[in-house]
């Protein structure tokens, strides 16, 4: 089980999937901001989603998969999945293809972004491959009188995600890992995840460890979110709670995400959708993809550029004149991006 930091060339090539809907607009803004921050990246532009299906007949073309295989790192805008694609979601297919088992979503209160809470600084580490999302479900009979979905939790899958969470905590100077579960009811599957968590925690005496039942976690996250640091949990709870934590700091528009596998393979993405209602209007907010790019720059060993990019984003978000309309500001995508770049330089 590898959790060591991978090394990349000084100027790596990254697969860029602009995506559907507002994807090309926010990707163009993000590429400009990365360049201004001094990020050293060559882009290999590839297609996926609805755009790929329209242009090539395949929502996940082999050339895109090959490009990620070769470069190991991808930046991706939102994707739609055409009906009849042969899989539930292009996003899920990409995670499965590259065994991107760790979904990492940091949520930090950003001055200027309207929200109800302050002092939030939580990193949600969600297991991405198992649990109820393993795809094991069926009707019990032809009349569809009942259906079963089976949660798969393995020792292997539990250990690698929990180790990832502790290693992340150590690398980022974090103090506590909280494991979220429902082992009081789901005694075997969630009990296994909790047992593995307790075993792994012993190897990290420098990081505090506790566990919390998921329903209590949901309440505590909105009563005292500042109590949390790194949270590690299974796929279904992580899916729900990571949107909840995004809501604590202003919603999906400012939420970055990384999907990480072994050996440095990683896909960084905006978590919001394709926003079909505002396509082509020039008003899309690129913050989610920009913040994901900052995570990507850190992953590529370009921490200085990541810090400059974040500084620019935070400065532009702080002012109503420079924030985008979805955050109560007056700027369009270009105006906001210009403000990010001005603040960087």
Convert residues 303-332 into a mask of x (bound to ligand ATP by CB under 6 A) and - (unbound).
-----------------------x------
Size of the site for ligand ATP (CB under 6 A): 15
253 binds ligand ATP (CB under 6 A): yes
Annotation marks residue 187 as catalytic = no
273 binds ligand ATP (CB under 6 A): yes
User: Can you tell me the distance from the alpha carbon of 114 to that of 26, in angstroms, rounded to the nearest whole number?
Assistant: 21
285 binds ligand ATP (CB under 6 A): yes
Helices (H), the chain: 23-36, 49-56, 62-71, 90-97, 155-171, 189-201, 214-223, 235-248, 287-299, 303-318, 333-344
| Catalytic member of 44, 131, 164, 182 | 182
List of residues 6+ apart from 233 with CB closer than 8 A: 124, 125, 126, 127, 179, 180, 181, 214, 241
Annotation marks residue 215 as catalytic = yes
Distance of CA 38 to CAs 10, 34, 307, 309, Å? Answer: 12, 6, 10, 9
Q: Which of 126, 272, 308, 310 binds ligand ATP (CB under 6 A)?
A: 272
List of residues 6+ apart from 28 with CB closer than 8 A: 18
Q: Which CB atom, from 250 or from 261, has the smaller least distance to ligand ATP?
A: 250
Smallest distance, Å, CB 292 to ligand ATP?
12
Segment near ligand ATP (CB under 6 A); pick from 5-13, 156-164, 266-274, 294-302: 266-274
Annotation marks residue 332 as catalytic = no
| Catalytic member of 44, 76, 101, 133 | 133
Q: Which CB atom, from 157 or from 335, has the smaller least distance to ligand ATP?
A: 335
103 binds ligand ATP (CB under 6 A): no
User: Can you tell me the distance from the alpha carbon of 54 to that of 277, in angstroms, rounded to the nearest whole number?
Assistant: 20
278 binds ligand ATP (CB under 6 A): yes
User: Can you tell me the distance from the alpha carbon of 124 to that of 79, in angstroms, rounded to the nearest whole number?
Assistant: 22
83 binds ligand ATP (CB under 6 A): no
Closest CA to 215 of 192, 190, 195: 190
Smallest distance, Å, CB 281 to ligand ATP?
9
Handedness of CA 46, 50, 53, 55 (dihedral sign): negative
* Sites for ligand ATP among residues 113-142 (CB under 6 A): none
User: Mind telling me the catalytic residues?
Assistant: 133, 182, 215, 239
Positions that interact with ligand ATP (CB under 6 A): 22, 78, 80, 252-253, 272-278, 284-285, 326
């Amino acid at each position: 089980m590898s959790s060591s930091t991978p090394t990349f060339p000084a100027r790596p090539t990254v697969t860029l999937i602009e995506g559907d809907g507002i994807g090309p607009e926010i990707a163009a803004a993000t590429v400009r901001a990365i360049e201004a921050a001094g990020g050293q990246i060559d882009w290999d532009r590839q297609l996926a989603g609805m755009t790929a299906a329209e242009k090539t007949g395949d929502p996940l073309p082999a050339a895109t998969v090959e490009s990620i295989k070769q470069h190991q790192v991808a930046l991706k805008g939102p994707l739609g999945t055409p009906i009849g694609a042969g899989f539930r979601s292009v996003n899920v297919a990409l995670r499965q293809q590259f065994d991107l088992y760790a979904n990492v979503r940091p949520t930090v209160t950003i001055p200027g972004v309207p929200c109800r809470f302050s002092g939030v600084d939580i990193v949600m580490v969600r297991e991405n491959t198992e649990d109820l999302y393993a795809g094991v479900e069926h009707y019990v009979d032809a009349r569809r009188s009942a259906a079963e979905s089976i949660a798969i939790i393995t020792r292997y899958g539990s250990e690698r995600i929990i180790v990832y969470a502790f290693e992340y905590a150590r690398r980022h100077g974090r103090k506590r890992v909280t494991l979220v579960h429902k082992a009081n009811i789901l005694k075997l599957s969630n009990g296994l995840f909790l047992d593995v968590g307790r075993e792994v925690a012993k190897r990290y005496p420098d990081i505090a460890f506790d566990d919390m039942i998921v329903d209590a976690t949901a309440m505590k996250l909105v009563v005292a979110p500042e109590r949390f640091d790194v949270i590690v949990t299974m796929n279904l709870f992580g899916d729900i709670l990571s949107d909840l934590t995004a809501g604590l700091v202003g919603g999906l528009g400012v939420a970055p995400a990384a999907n990480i596998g072994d050996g440095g393979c990683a896909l960084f993405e905006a978590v919001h959708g394709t926003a079909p209602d505002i396509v082509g209007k020039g008003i899309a907010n690129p913050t989610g993809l920009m913040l994901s790019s900052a995570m990507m720059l850190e992953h590529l060993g370009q921490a200085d550029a990541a810090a400059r990019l974040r500084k620019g984003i935070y400065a532009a978000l702080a002012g109503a004149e420079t924030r985008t309309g979805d955050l109560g500001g007056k700027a369009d995508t270009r105006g906001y991006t210009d403000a990010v770049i001005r603040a960087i330089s």
